[in-house]
Amino acid sequence: MAVAEQIERVHAEWPSLHYNTEQALRSTIKLAYFSYADHYLRFEELPAGAGVADIVYLPKRDSPYPALVVELKRNASAKGAIDQIRDRNYPKALDGFGGKVLLVGISYDKDAAPGHRTHTCTIEVA
């Protein structure tokens, strides 16, 4: 819940004219994690398993943080995003990493009116 609330805050504050696109949500995620740039390398549209992962955050060598495999959805469930990550084996792209990997599904309703736009987030350990 806390992750989804922070994403909503960043998404609401981001001056995007196109709220209802995956690119706007992707930009929101990048802004939300901007403060962690010293700890992560970011890969977008990373070929992984049997598909392409939307965003992967790989911790830098000295970082204590887990790797993140992020799938973005609009008008679908965050749990469905997690299912896609697992079904298409996106964590395969991190073979050899050796650390903890978190699967992150983020979703929102693109048709919601301003002020009623909510996000959902599901996080599971790979």
Residue 48's CATH number: 3.40.1350
Q: Are 58 and 46 a contacting pair, CB within 8 Å?
A: no
State the Cα–Cα distance between residues 113 and 85, nearest whole angstrom: 29
The total number of structural domains that make up the chain: 1
pLDDT tens, residue by residue, 94-103: 998 889 999 9
Q: Are 98 and 80 a contacting pair, CB within 8 Å?
A: no
Q: Are 121 and 108 a contacting pair, CB within 8 Å?
A: no
Q: How many CA atoms lie within 13 A of 73 on its CB side?
A: 19
Range of the domain at 90: 2-125
pLDDT average, residue stretch 105-111? 82
Q: Is the pTM here over 0.95, yes or no?
A: no
State the Cα–Cα distance between residues 69 and 77, nearest whole angstrom: 16
